Amino acid sequence: MEKDLSRSPALRQAGHLRIIPLGGLGEVGRNMMVLEYEGKILLIDMGFRMPEEDMPGVDYIIPNISYLKGKERNILALLITHGHYDHIGAIPYYLGQLGNPPLYAGNLAKAIILKRQEDFPNQPKLRIATLQDGKRFTLGPFGVEPFRQNHNITDNFGFLIQTPVGNIVHTSDFKFDPNPVNEPPTDFMRLKKIGDQKILFLMSDSTNAEEPGHSLSEEVIFENLEEIFKQAKGRVISATFASLINRVQQIITLSEKYGRHVALEGYSMKTNVEISRQFGYIKAKSGTILKTKDVLAYPDSKITVVGTGAQGEERAVLMRIVNGEHQHVRIQKGDTVIFSSSVIPGNERSVQFVKDQLYKQGANVFHYKMMDIHASGHANHDELKQMIELLRPKFLMPIHGQVSMLVNHAKLAQETGMPEHNILVAENGQIVTLSKTQAVIEKTKVPANYIMVDGLGVGDVGEVVLRDRQNLAKDGIFVIIMVVDRQSGKVKGSPDIISRGFIYLRESKELLKEVRKRTIGTVNRSTGAGGPINWVYVRDLVRNQISEFLFVKTQRRPMVLPVIIEV
Ligand SMILES: [Zn+2]
């Protein structure tokens, strides 16, 4: 692929910057961005994406880094915008492979990365420098200046990057918040000053480019949550993401205000809060945080439980509580349950299940559709336009979103007066070539198909494995075990049949009888000619014929596995 690219006349010219977005499942550049100038490479973020519902058994999708193979020595550094897993999650899988380049991350992101790295003892020791707001540093041809951006996790940085072709800005995930949690509000003067430095190219967050108006301030969320706390008589159980550190802080602050102790539940919740407390990003009075087993020692009105599971995740705290599998907490009448996060598409059914269970068990339930108890961490229309107006870039590349979001972001930019041909809507793997005067999307793509992580294995789940899993999930499995006489090639006795997820065997006696008859017939015919028997051929024949037969009878295609035992 690289050879093809170097033949492209546009790219052979020196003095061009290449910008390549990478990531999983069409979210452009969310998980990784590659910047390359005359062979020197700077990476921004290295995250993963959660799989879709139709990818059974796949844990994460990580970016394809084939483009970087053979270029390890030229990677100057990896810059991390913030500590969310879609920006740091792939580090343990890739950094070692890429020659362990130095990292630059904010305090909180650094601590989360180091903590997670403990789960991967075979990976090399990370070298992480701490980013400081406004503190510039040089990496080869790049000058990097981090600037603070509001999001829903503290220590989130955008980057002003000075390159030989001009200044470029990466916004990171961001929103403008006049009243954020535990950090100063957006510094508009600062952003304007960055804009004064003549920005050639802006890469900006598109996550909420389809949402009108301005994102909600965390202050509004706080007020609404307070209403719930005021009225709550029994325990308050709050479910959110472990990475929404700022939301967890709000719940802790309100608990203290209303005389409640807080029990943190779930491994990721506990670790994230512990790390954040070390840096003062979560503040709690001594005595506020309880061990869960001590929950029973206090009256219900004095207890808040903060856990994971607002997405209906199977192994999360809330699911274990409603299923009665939690060691110390059961739902009882009068409990108040708060879902403080929006529902990620694909999770609607499991969230509905959890909600129904909660109502059945007598809880009062509050979720984001009933009132504003969750704010996204991303800029809506007004803020996206304002960012463009503050930075005044010549070119814009919408990133961090699916095509529909990128295109809507592009439309907003045009409303601010940017000419259409200066806005580049690229796909993952596409190369944007930037010169002092031009920005072009090249026709050639670098490999950008996604890589699946399954347990601790990377990339060993291929398309075939995935298709098998989808078939198994949809139509089940049908195993035929037959004993065949090696000499005569005849089936001995009646074949055994095992089936899962396809048909209920007891109610399908006729069908099974027919399957047995056909199996015996097929084997006996195909082995009867004398001479050596080709067992692979016999097995394939049985598989094909029985699959066909089952499809005709049931309109379903279970995975058919014939097993031949020679005696
Ligand atoms: Zn984020």
- Please give the distance, rounded to the nearest whole angstrom, from the Cα atom of residue 51 to the centre of ligand 1: 17
Bridge partner residues of 454 (DSSP): 457
Answer whether residue 380 shows pLDDT above 80: yes
* pLDDT of 455: 55
Q: Looking at 215-219, 321-325, 498-502, 540-544, which range is the least confident one?
A: 498-502
Give CA 303 to chain center in angstroms: 32
Identify the pLDDT of residue 186.
93
| Residue 87 annotated in active site | no
**Active-site pick, 45, 86, 173, 205:** 205
Q: What is the pLDDT of residues 124-150, one digit of tens each?
A: 999 999 999 999 999 999 999 999 999
Q: How far apart are CA 165 and CA 75, in angstroms?
A: 19
- pLDDT for 465: 63
**Which residue is catalytic, options 87, 378, 381, 400?**
378
CA of 151 to the centre of ligand 1 (A): 7
- Region 486-503: mean pLDDT is 85
pLDDT at 345: 67
Residue 452 CA to ligand 1 center (angstroms) comes to 21
Rounded distance from Cα 158 to ligand 1 centre (Å): 12
State the distance from the centre of ligand 1 to the C-alpha of 312, rounded, in angstroms: 20
Cα of 142 vs centre of ligand 1, distance in Å, is 24
Q: CA–CA separation, 183 vs 20, rounded Å?
A: 32
pLDDT band (50, 70, 90) for residue 156: very high
| Residue 385, token pair as written in the block | 């336009």
DSSP calls for 371-395 = S-----SS--HHHHHHHHHHH--SE
pLDDT at 421: 96
What is the pLDDT, as a whole number, of residue 2? 40
Taking the centre of ligand 1 as the mean of its atom positions, its distance from the CA of residue 224, in whole angstroms, is 23
Residue 54: the pLDDT is 61
List helix spans (H) across 421-500: 463-475
Q: What is the pLDDT of residue 9?
A: 44
Q: Dihedral of CA 372/376/381/385: which sign?
A: positive
In angstroms, the CA 43 to CA 551 distance is 50
Distance, CA 317 to ligand 1 centroid (Å)? 22
- Element spanning 22, H or E: strand 17-22
Residue 205 C-alpha to ligand 1 middle, in angstroms?
Answer: 10
Both structure tokens of 60: 């994460």
Specify the higher pLDDT residue, 259 or 457: 259
Q: Which range, of 306-310, 351-355, 440-444, 455-459, averages the lowest pLDDT?
A: 455-459
Strands 128-130 and 137-139: unpaired
Cα(133) to centroid(ligand 1), Å:
18
Cβ burial of 463 (10 Å; 0-12, 13-18, 19+) is exposed
Give the pLDDT band of residue 1 (cuts 50, 70, 90): very low
Asked whether 158 and 174 are in contact (CB, 8 A), the reply is yes
- What is the distance in A from the centroid of ligand 1 to the CA of 25? 17
Instruction: State the pLDDT at residue 530.
Output: 66
Whether 8 has a pLDDT exceeding 80, the answer reads: no
Ligand 1 center from residue 243 Cα (angstroms): 9
Give the Cα separation of 30 and 26 in Å (integer): 9
Per-residue pLDDT of 68-123, as tens digits, reads 999 999 999 999 999 998 999 999 989 999 999 999 999 999 999 999 898 888 88
How many whole angstroms from 247 Cα to the centroid of ligand 1?
14
**Tally of CA atoms within 13 A in the half-sphere of 352 that contains its CB:** 5
Using CA atoms, how far apart are residues 480 and 483, in angstroms rounded to an integer? Answer: 10
What's the mean per-residue pLDDT of the chain? 88
**For residues 153-160, average pLDDT:** 94
pLDDT of res. 52: 61
- Span 341-369, average pLDDT: 85
Is-contact 331 321, C-beta < 8 A? yes
Angle at 160 between CA 406 and CA 376, to 5 degrees: 45
Query: What pLDDT was estimated at residue 463?
Result: 58
pLDDT for 274-301, tens place per residue?
889 988 889 999 999 998 888 889 999 9
pLDDT of residue 501: 79
| Cα separations in angstroms, 548 against 21, 248, 545 | 44, 55, 5
Q: In terms of Cα–Cα distance, which of 398, 402, 410, 429 is closest to 345?
A: 402
Assign 13 a pLDDT band (cuts: 50, 70, 90): low
The residue among 405 and 481 whose pLDDT is bigger is 405
Mark whether 151 is an active-site residue.
Answer: no
Q: Which helix (H) or strand (E) holds 159?
A: strand 157-163
CB 539 within 8 A of CB 562: yes
Q: Angle, nearest 10°, between helix axes 245-257 and 218-231?
A: 40
Average pLDDT over residues 198-220: 94
Residue 318: which of 265, 248, 262, 368 has the closest Cα?
265
Tokens 């990057």 correspond to what residue? 161
CA distance 313 to 344: 11
Residues 6+ apart with CB under 8 A from 92: 116, 117, 119, 120, 123
Of the candidates 233, 287, 234, which has an alpha carbon nearest to the alpha carbon of residue 263?
287
> Ligand 1: distance of its center to the CA of 82 in Å?
7
- Residue 381: Cβ-neighbour burial (10 angstroms; 0-12, 13-18, 19+): buried
Least confident range of 2-11, 33-42, 206-215: 2-11
* Residue 174 alpha carbon to ligand 1 centre in Å: 8
